[in-house]
Amino acid sequence: MGIETPSTIETALEVGYRHLDTAQIYDNEEVVGDGLAASNVDRAEVIVATKVWADSLDPAAVSATTTESLDRLGLDRIDLLYVHRPINTYTPETTLSAFDDLYDAGTIGAVGLSNFTVDQLREARQQLAAPIAAHQVECHPLFWSPELLADARKHDYHLVAYSPLAGGHVREIDTVVDIAEDHETTPEAVSIAWLLAKRNVVAIPKSSSRRHLEANLDAQQLQLTDVECRQIDEIGRTLELYPE
């Protein structure tokens, strides 16, 4: 979302990013593909992920729209393909069978899910032959799920945290601001560092400027104490940016 020019992708790759996350409904797969093609970074070093939207989750549409995504991205293989939301045309048996077919054919390198509940994840595991590689969910100091994190750890897949900066609201959270001041850094860096301190979690902050891209990447070097992490854990979960 929010990426409109291939140069942003080129810059992200130049400064060190190796995971590109997009979706059919974001309407920027072509931009991501053009940026990747223009970059000097070897394609083999980059993980490209996209998502099949909720209106295209019957088997024929999964196959057809994935082919369209490949064309827009300029790729012959998608590294990670997600079910974007388990709603609308999603049916576990038929939708996930279609994802298995793409995985078996080598059209996709891994299957991901997004915005699932613990019960829906359990059902998906019963239907999928391919392993679940990732579950992408909204995750930031004002909204996260210990239950989903526990499931990721139990079943050994990555919990991919989208909107890790709470849409900019991390700058308004006193606990996060105070910790940032103690470390002489930004609330954004603290939020990312807090997520990365959790086992099985990766964060995918969105940014378009080189300065913010570099700052978000540098946040990986910030080490929070266990006490600081617990303080952030205890913040009230009061802001879900993207409810169903």
pLDDT in tens, 15-51: 999 999 999 999 999 999 999 999 999 999 999 999 9
- Structure tokens of 233? 């854990």
Mean pLDDT of 95-105: 98
What percent of the chain has a predicted confidence (pLDDT) above 70? 99
What pLDDT is recorded for position 3?
A: 79
Strand stretches in 12-121, DSSP E:
19-21, 47-52, 80-83, 111-114
Note whether 19 and 205 are within 8 A (CB). Answer: no
Nearest CA to 8 out of 167, 158, 211 is that of: 211
Say which of 26, 157, 162, 242 is annotated catalytic.
26
pLDDT of 2:
62
Q: Quick check: 137 pLDDT over 80? A: yes
Q: Domains in the chain, start-ordered, CATH in brackets?
A: 6-138 (3.20.20.100)
The one-character DSSP state at 131 is P
Q: What is the pLDDT of residue 4?
A: 81
Task: Decide if 20 contacts 47 (C-beta within 8 A).
Answer: yes
- What pLDDT was estimated at residue 196? 98
The first and second tokens of residue 160, run together, are 């991919």
- Residue 208: which pLDDT band, with cuts at 50, 70 and 90? confident
Nearest to 86 by CA among 129, 44, 47, 132: 132
List the Cα angle 95/154/117 in 5-degree steps: 45
Both tokens assigned to 136? 């992408």
**Per-residue pLDDT averaged across 84-93, rounded?**
97
The pLDDT score that the predictor gives to residue 1 is: 56
d(CA 22, CA 193): 23
pLDDT of the residue at 27:
93
pTM of the model: 0.96
Mean pLDDT along residues 180-208: 96
**Torsion sign over Cα 211, 202, 176, 184:** negative
How far apart, in whole angstroms, are the C-alpha atoms of residue 7 and residue 75? 18
Alpha-carbon distance of 190 to 218, in angstroms, equals 11
Q: Given a cut of 80, is residue 168 above it in pLDDT?
A: yes
Q: Are 30 and 6 in contact (CB under 8 A)?
A: no
pLDDT tens figures, 38-85: 999 999 999 999 999 999 999 999 999 999 999 999 999 999 999 999
**Whether residue 17 lies in the annotated active site:** no
